[in-house]
């Protein structure tokens, strides 16, 4: 039986390909996609020649900014990001771990001001890429890759 | 110089300029009065020494002060946010001196307002004006800060004065720093990574006492402990008495950010090594120098 699911090509927007399996569901949260009106297609467990199985996200009418592309590096460092214009790939980008992440991660220090004032948005600066270490801009407490992933995935 | 948020914000040259101005003030040299300006002393956490010395320093310069000494005196007690309290104070005063229990509060305040912010101690890590006072006292005793052997004893886990001092020492070149604490109160490992000078950790004060030039003692702070059982286990871990003093180098000194409880015996006060009251007295000229640098331009 043919198990193919057809998802239309998008005319204009972004396709995030080669996402590790089951990580695609985290992407709307990281990129705050559901706050807009754009059509988003999320394909989980798609067949892949390179990875056996993979996830794909298609976002119509929105070209991701570099800062948004880099946020994806936390969960899908090997993903390819294709910018689509008139049904064609106009530009390819890859995710680079950002120097700074604002407003996404929560500081694990219960005494950090970011956990006590609604206006104090978190700022984490990159210390090392491998192993990943990011440091709170307010209290200097670090988080590692597993903590960052746990938070981003909402697990 | 606009804000003083962190011990690492100040370069060596700026620190030396502050010390030089403080020395002029101590010698009785007239400094330019700063009239028609108001300093808000925003102490969300209680403090006696720091509050009083910031207050006196301001008044000696002709500044006026307003503010509060605990969170209970503010609208924060009525659930006003910290950010709104800072905005309100900024509309009344020309400079805000902030003390707060949360890490990063002063830095966050500096992003809320254009008024200068002086961190009078926040969270577990920052107390930059105390560190200036500490090192200024060292300078007055030895004529230098570099090349000395330091011993920091007591609560190295929760003590903000200690963390701040060790951070400010990264701007200088201490010969060695002994970190002396019970295991439950040892320096957080993440903090140690930021130190750029030689250091060692020990639980035994006796093993290093003969090596130090500057012994910096701290109170085991009951209010920082999650529960009283943990506090009782370590509260009297160290006591600096005449016997300990007799084993120190001739010219070695003892500092303490005060208040002390039992960690320094009263009969040590009369020895030449006891510099902690002189250190507390340096709070006023150092804070006068800071106000002059920030508001006097």
B70-128 residue pLDDT tens: 877 776 767 889 999 999 999 999 999 999 999 999 999 999 999 999 999 999 999 99
Give the domains, in start order, of chain A with CATH numbers.
12-94 (3.30.70.140), 100-153 (2.30.30.20)
Q: Can you tell me the distance from the alpha carbon of A105 to that of A137, in angstroms, rounded to the nearest whole number?
A: 12
Whether A67 contacts A98, CB under 8 Å: yes
Q: Which among A111, A119, A140 has the least Cβ separation from residue B102?
A: A111
Contact A109 B125 (CB under 8 A): no
Q: How many CB atoms lie within 10 A of CB A2?
A: 4
Q: Which among B81, B100, B190 has the least Cβ separation from residue A118?
A: B81
Using CB atoms within 10 Å of the CB of residue B50, give its burial: 0 to 12 exposed, 13 to 18 middle, 19+ buried: buried
Residue count of chain A, please give it.
Answer: 155
Contact B101 A111 (CB under 8 A): yes
Question: Which letter does DSSP use for residue B11 in this model?
Answer: -
* pLDDT tens readout for residues B29-76: 888 889 899 999 999 998 988 999 999 999 999 999 999 988 777 767
**B24, containing H or E segment:** helix B12-26
Residue B293 touches partner A, C-beta closer than 8 Å: no
**Range B234-240 average pLDDT:** 85
What is the SS3 assignment for A115?
A: helix
Q: Can you tell me the distance from the alpha carbon of B96 to that of B66, in angstroms, rounded to the nearest whole number?
A: 10
Residue B14 touches partner A, C-beta closer than 8 Å: no
Owner of token pair 């003892």: B254
Q: Which long-range contacts (CB under 8 A, 24 or more apart) does B85-94 make?
A: B85/B42, B86/B42, B86/B112, B86/B113, B87/B112, B87/B113, B89/B40, B89/B42, B89/B113, B90/B114, B90/B115, B92/B38, B92/B40, B92/B66, B93/B38, B93/B39, B93/B40, B93/B66, B94/B37, B94/B38, B94/B39, B94/B295
Q: Angle of helix B283-295 relative to helix B12-26, nearest 10 degrees? A: 120
Give the domains, in start order, of chain B with CATH numbers.
12-126+281-295 (3.40.50.1370), 128-280 (3.40.50.1370)
Residue B104 touches partner A, C-beta closer than 8 Å: yes
Q: What are phi and psi of A18, to 5 degrees?
A: 60, 40
The confidence score (pLDDT) of residue A3 equals: 62
**A16, containing H or E segment:** strand A12-19
Q: Can you tell me the distance from the alpha carbon of B177 to that of B161, in angstroms, rounded to the nearest whole number?
A: 15
Left if phi > 0, otherwise alpha if psi is -120 to 50, otherwise beta: which for A93? beta
Say yes or no to pLDDT of B16 above 60. Answer: yes
Size of the A and B interface in Cβ pairs below 8 Å: 53
Nearest CA in chain A to B79: A117
The confidence score (pLDDT) of residue A149 equals: 81
Q: pLDDT > 70: what percent of chain B?
A: 99
Give the contacts of A128 (CB within 8 A, at least 6 positions apart). Answer: none
Please state, in angstroms and as integers, the Cα–Cα distance from residue B188 to each residue in B157, B163, B169, B202, following that order.
6, 10, 17, 14
Q: Can you tell me the distance from the alpha carbon of B34 to that of B62, in angstroms, rounded to the nearest whole number?
A: 6
Nearest CA in chain A to B111: A120
Dmax over CA atoms of chain A, in Å, equals: 57
For chain B, the average pLDDT equals 94
Q: Can you tell me the distance from the alpha carbon of B128 to that of B7, in angstroms, rounded to the nearest whole number?
A: 5
The confidence score (pLDDT) of residue A98 equals: 86
Residue B172 touches partner A, C-beta closer than 8 Å: no
**A28, containing H or E segment:** helix A27-30
Q: Can you tell me the distance from the alpha carbon of A72 to that of A81, in angstroms, rounded to the nearest whole number?
A: 10
The confidence score (pLDDT) of residue B236 equals: 78
For each of chain A's 155 residues, which pLDDT tens digit applies?
Answer: 456 677 788 999 999 999 989 889 888 888 888 787 888 999 999 888 877 899 999 999 999 988 788 888 888 888 899 999 999 999 999 888 889 998 889 999 999 999 999 999 999 999 998 888 999 999 999 999 889 888 876 66
Q: Angle of helix B283-295 relative to helix B49-60, nearest 10 degrees? A: 50
* pLDDT tens readout for residues B244-277: 999 999 999 999 999 888 899 999 999 999 999 9
Residue B225 touches partner A, C-beta closer than 8 Å: no
Whether B213 contacts B248, CB under 8 Å: no
The Cα of A4 is separated from the nearest Cα of chain B by a number of Å equal to: 50
Nearest CA in chain B to A110: B102
**B280, containing H or E segment:** helix B276-281
Q: Residues of B54-90 as b/e, b for ≥16 C-beta within 10 angstroms?
A: bbebbebbebebebbbebeebebeeeebbbebbeebb
The confidence score (pLDDT) of residue B275 equals: 98
* pLDDT tens readout for residues B129-150: 999 999 999 999 999 999 999 9
**Range B179-194 average pLDDT:** 91
Residue B123 with chain A: CB contacts under 8 Å: 111-113, 139
The confidence score (pLDDT) of residue A155 equals: 61
Of B9-13, B21-25, B230-234, the least confident: B230-234
The Cα of B61 is separated from the nearest Cα of chain A by a number of Å equal to: 32
What is the SS3 assignment for A85?
A: strand
Q: Which among B102, B107, B112 has the least Cβ separation from residue A116?
A: B102
């Amino acid at each position: 039986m043919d198990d193919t699911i057809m998802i239309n090509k998008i005319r204009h927007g972004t396709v995030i390909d080669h996402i590790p399996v089951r990580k695609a569901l985290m992407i709307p949260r990281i990129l705050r996609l559901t706050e807009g009106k754009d059509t988003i297609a999320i394909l989980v467990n798609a067949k892949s020649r390179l990875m056996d199985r993979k996830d794909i996200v298609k976002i119509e009418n929105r070209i991701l900014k570099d800062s948004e592309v880099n946020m994806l590096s936390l969960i899908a460092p090997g993903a390819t990001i294709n910018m689509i214009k008139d049904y064609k790939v106009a530009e390819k980008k890859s995710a680079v771990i950002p120097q700074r992440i604002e407003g996404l991660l929560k500081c694990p220090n219960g005494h950090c001001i970011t956990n006590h004032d609604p206006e104090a948005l978190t700022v984490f600066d990159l210390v090392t890429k491998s192993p990943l270490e990011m440091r709170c801009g307010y209290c200097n407490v670090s988080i590692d890759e597993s903590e960052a992933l746990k938070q981003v995935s909402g697990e | 110089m606009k804000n003083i948020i962190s011990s690492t914000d100040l370069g060596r040259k700026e620190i030396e300029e502050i010390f030089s101005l403080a020395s002029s003030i101590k010698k009785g040299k007239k400094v330019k009065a700063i009239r028609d300006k108001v300093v808000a002393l925003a102490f969300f956490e209680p403090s006696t020494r720091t509050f009083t010395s910031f207050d006196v320093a301001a008044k000696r310069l002709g500044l006026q002060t307003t503010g509060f000494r605990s969170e209970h005196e503010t609208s924060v007690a009525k659930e006003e946010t910290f950010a709104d309290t800072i905005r309100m104070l900024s509309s009344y005063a020309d400079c805000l001196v902030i003390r707060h229990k949360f890490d990063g509060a002063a830095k966050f305040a500096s992003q809320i307002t254009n008024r200068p912010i002086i961190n009078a101690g926040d969270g577990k890590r920052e107390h930059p004006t105390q560190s200036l006072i500490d090192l200024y006292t060292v300078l007055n005793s030895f004529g230098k800060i570099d090349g000395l052997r330091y011993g920091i004893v007591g609560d190295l886990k929760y003590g903000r004065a200690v963390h701040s001092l060790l951070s400010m020492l990264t701007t200088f070149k201490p010969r060695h720093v002994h970190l002396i604490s019970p295991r439950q109160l040892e320096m957080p490992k993440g903090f140690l990574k930021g130190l750029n000078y030689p250091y060692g950790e020990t639980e035994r004060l006796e093993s290093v006492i003969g090596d130090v030039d500057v012994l910096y003692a701290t109170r085991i702070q009951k209010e920082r402990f999650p529960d009283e059982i943990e506090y009782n286990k370590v509260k009297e871990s160290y006591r600096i008495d005449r016997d300990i003093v007799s084993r120190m180098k001739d010219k070695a000194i003892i500092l303490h950010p005060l208040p002390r409880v039992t960690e320094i015996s009263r009969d040590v006060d009369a020895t030449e090594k006891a510099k902690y009251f002189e250190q507390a007295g340096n709070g006023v000229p150092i804070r006068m120098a800071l106000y002059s640098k920030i508001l006097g331009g």
